[in-house]
Amino acid sequence: MKIKKIFLAGAISAATFAAAQFRQTPLPYAYNALEGSVDAQTMEIHYTKHAAAYVANLNKAIAGTPLEKESLEKILSHISKESPAVRNNAGGHYNHELFWTVLTPEKNTQPSPGLAKAINDSFGSLDALKEKLSKAGADRFGSGWAWLVVTADKKLAVTSTANQDNPLMDIAEVKGTPIFGIDVWEHAYYLKYQNKRADYLAALWNVTNWKEISRRYGETIK
């Protein structure tokens, strides 16, 4: 199947889009590309409604402020000083931009040798890491994310955050650079899985993009 790219449509006006500090990256696969794990309707709504709203509201929240000239990562690094609107929408935009890239229709991708060694050193095996990440997602009360991060000492760690927080934020309990994030908000899975979050988490391993996660790992430990 030829994979097409999906572009943002209708989230913000053309004039606003042209002037926006932040924009959605085109989805790197068709809405139905992950069928079996993520259904097309969920993917379309998730990308064009939920994620699009985060970036539009972020641009609105920072309009006319010095934050317009800062990178997203910089904003997150001092998020405790910002308004709830900036915190929620900057986190939501960053988290979703990462999320799309760590999923793929390509089958049976594998961690790079370097990442595989780091996983084995930190968790014992890839299966053990999957179990730990799935548990972090399943145990997150309410809405939030489960994360695989590289800490400041270049070690791997699993953590979770509430709502649209992430480990780049200065308020995070476990800080680090995310290389894999799993969205456990109900809008990410409810149409297909209803209240069965564990089934959704298990299905995501069939579409996990270990090539991209490995690339992020390599960039982070340089």
> Residue positions in the annotated binding site for Mn(2+)?
46, 96, 183, 187
Q: Which helix (H) or strand (E) holds 92?
A: helix 84-101
For residue 91, the one-letter residue type is G
Q: To which residue do tokens 């989230």 refer?
A: 11
Q: To which residue do tokens 């939920």 refer?
A: 50
Residue 10, sorted as left (phi over 0), alpha (psi -120 to 50) or beta, turns out to be: left
Annotated binding site: 46, 96, 183, 187
Q: Where does residue 164 rank: exposed (0-12), middle (13-18), buried (19+ CB within 10 A)? A: buried
The two structure tokens encoding residue 180: 């894999």
- Nearest Cα to 87, choosing from 12, 169, 187? 169
What secondary structure does DSSP assign to 129-181, as a single string?
A: HHHHHHHHHHHS-SSEEEEEEE-TTS-EEEEEEETT--TTSTT-SS--EEEEE
